[in-house]
Structure 1
Amino acid sequence: MTSSARLTPTELALWHQFKLVGERVNAAVERDILAASDLTGAEFGVLTRLVDLGDGSLRQGELATSMRWNKSRLSHQITRMEKRDLVTRSSEDASAVTVSITDGGRRALKPARPAHAESIREHLTERLSADQRATLASVFESLLAE
């Protein structure tokens, strides 16, 4: 890593473009999910993980890890979602809390999934050529490599 105290104008421009693209696409996808299902992006994230990773239920710690959230943030989110009858929380013992999707959560998720897919296509994948998508995937793979 270079030791320059400041980013060059090129580095700074790249950083700002990277952030702006991510924020813009995420905001559009979240807006489309909300319009289709009345679910926020966070609620959609929780519900899809419960269904996809846990067949409807996950331990709260596993859910937090999959969301890359701390336990406190997830706990507050789950409390809000319980009030909307999207999930329930149960304790098997003092150390294991399980979060489960409710029938209301499944009903809300049903229109959200196709809206999510269509929005990603509209705001990201269909705006790029096949070559650009492959290049971007390669770049992201490099950036995510540890």
Structure 2
Amino acid sequence: MTIKPLSPQELRVWHAFRLMHEDVLARVGRDIAQATGLSGPEFGVLSRLAALGKGEMRQQTLASMMAWDKSRLSHQLTRMQERGLIERRRTDGKTVLVALTKLGREKLEAARPIHAASVRRNLLSRLTQEQIDTIVRVSNLLGEED
């Protein structure tokens, strides 16, 4: 099967999409790291555990929510466990629960206002309401299953 390469216009759209995403995430992650010592991925794990799992959830569920493969999540959780941010425990032979520690909760609470301010500064304040609405519509469209 021969696949037609992306046209110059299609490449511009693809690169613009990726660069926008990567740039904003990098700036927000840098702000969080400078203020709290948490990396962007650590903040992502901690915030999902707190908001969606009430402080704990199955490791496999967390991997799905993060859209990470098992190996990437496992390595990330090992680093976070070594730093005292989370703990993992087996509930039966196969299920692993990931839970926030007291330190993890404290770091997350310190990072939340930094995250909010950074998202506002690096994304929301740079856009009109119409542009924000468009991003939300496009995101919803792209998130739909085929």
Shorter-chain TM range is: over 0.9
Q: Which residue of 2 aligns with 1:59?
A: 58
| Structure-2 separation of matches of 1:120 and 1:110 | 16
The CA deviation at 1:4 is 6.4
% identical equivalent positions: 48
Residue in structure 1 matched with residue 45 of structure 2 by the alignment = 46
2:76 maps to amino acid = Q
Tell me the distance in 2 between the aligned counterparts of 1:34 and 1:79: 19
Runs of 4+ aligned residues of structure 1 deviating over 2 Å after TM superposition are: none
TM-superposed CA distance for 1:144, in Å, is 1.6
Distance 2:107 2:18 in 1: 30
Letter in 2 for 1:116: H
- Which residue type is aligned with residue 50 of structure 2? V
Determine the C-alpha separation between the residues in 2 that align with 1:62 and 1:6. 36
Look up the match of 2:113. Answer: 114
Bigger mean CA offset, 26-35 vs 6-15: 6-15
Q: Shift in Å at residue 46 of structure 1?
A: 0.8
Deviations 1:47-93 (A, max 9, x none): 11111111111111111111111112111111111110001111111
Report the equivalent of 1:68.
67
TM-score by length of 2: 0.93
Alpha-carbon distance in 1 for matches of 2:143, 2:94: 32
CA distance in 2, matches of 1:55, 1:42: 18
Partner of 1:127: 126
Give distance in 2, aligned partners of 1:143 and 1:58: 27
Q: TM-score, normalised by structure 1?
A: 0.93
